[in-house]
Chains A and B, each alone.
Chain A
Amino acid sequence: MERIPILRMGRLLLVTIQVDMHDRLAMTLQDDLTERIVRDRARGVLIDISALDMVDSFIGRMISNTASMARVLDARTVVVGMQPAVAITLVELGLTLDGVRTALNVERGVKLLESEIEG
């Protein structure tokens, strides 16, 4: 089964989405991330969407759900690299991605997460 790779970087999990995901793949990613947070005792999740030229309501919901589940498991989520056209479209679509913080790039996202995971 195809999967999107999840990398571990200390207490963080890092995932870079570089393919145009079909719905099943997005659901698999959501499940994999949740499982890895528990297994690796991760405190932060960074989702890099800089390669995505489209985020629709299903993918948006996958991201929101992942952030919610991470929160329940005491981990924070940051989404990085959202393309401007994607941001504009999400607003028009009415998708607010509540509870999901964003950062400009991976470096800033990692800094944001690290500053929040104290102790």
Chain B
Amino acid sequence: MDEQQLLSQSLQTDEDVVRLRKAVRDHLVRLGFSLVEQTKMVTAASELARNTLRYGGGGEALIEELNNGSKRGLRLVFADQGPGIADLTLALTDGYTTGGGLGLGLSGAKRLADEFDIDTVPGAGTKVSIIKWKPF
């Protein structure tokens, strides 16, 4: 699989989340995703970026355009050095929140993306990765 263009965006402020939304939208438009697919992925990105900020103590987002020969895609990775998630099953349950939110961010992002991966160790940070594919 070819991976082109790895871009890193800092996630330390509310404004960074807005900047990330725009960057993700721009990539998705350029890759030719439909408006609905764009909106789903940008929304997922916003949820995960917020999590990185609020629960992860800030971190970064990595944007990668993918091309595996039969389809193009966009991968987003959200990484922080925060406290990690102690109970992943619980965290992935709709409505579960430790921060007074709606508890839909993590589970929602999983539904909105085509692929979802999470790597978390309590005390050692969290890395969430989502991919949206577009067949040629």
A85 touches B38 (CB 8 A): yes
**A:45-61 near B, CB below 8 Å:** 53-58, 60-61
A95 to B111 CA separation, bound complex (whole angstroms) = 12
A58 to B108 CA separation, bound complex (whole angstroms) = 12
Chain B minimum-CB-distance residue to A53:
B39
Task: Point out the residues of chain A lying under 8 angstroms from B101, CB to CB.
Answer: 57-58, 61
- Interface residue A20 (Cβ < 8 Å from any Cβ of B): yes
Partner-binding segment picked from B10-18, B55-63, B82-90: B10-18
B36 touches A20 (CB 8 A): no
Interface string of B58-87 (1 = CB under 8 A from A): 000000000000000000000000000000
Give the Cβ gap from B42 to chain A, nearest Cβ, in Å.
5
Task: Point out the residues of chain B lying under 8 angstroms from A22, CB to CB.
Answer: 13-15, 17-18
Partner-binding segment picked from A7-15, A69-77, A86-94, A110-118: A86-94
**A83, A89, A92: which has the most chain B beta carbons within 10 Å?**
A89
A/B pair count, beta carbons within 8 Å? 72
A92 touches B112 (CB 8 A): yes
Task: Point out the residues of chain A lying under 8 angstroms from B112, CB to CB.
Answer: 89, 92-93
Task: Point out the residues of chain B lying under 8 angstroms from A83, CB to CB.
Answer: 39
Interface residues on B, range: 20 to 34
Chain B minimum-CB-distance residue to A25:
B14
A118 to B111 CA separation, bound complex (whole angstroms) = 43
A20 to B42 CA separation, bound complex (whole angstroms) = 12
A95 touches B40 (CB 8 A): no
CB-contact partner of B102 in A20, A21, A61, under 8 A: A61
A89 touches B39 (CB 8 A): yes
A56 touches B39 (CB 8 A): no
**B:98-126 near A, CB below 8 Å:** 101-102, 104-105, 107-108, 111-112
Give the Cβ gap from A56 to chain B, nearest Cβ, in Å.
4
Binding site for A on B (CB under 8 A): 13-15, 17-18, 21-22, 25, 35-36, 38-40, 42-43, 46-47, 50, 94, 101-102, 104-105, 107-108, 111-112
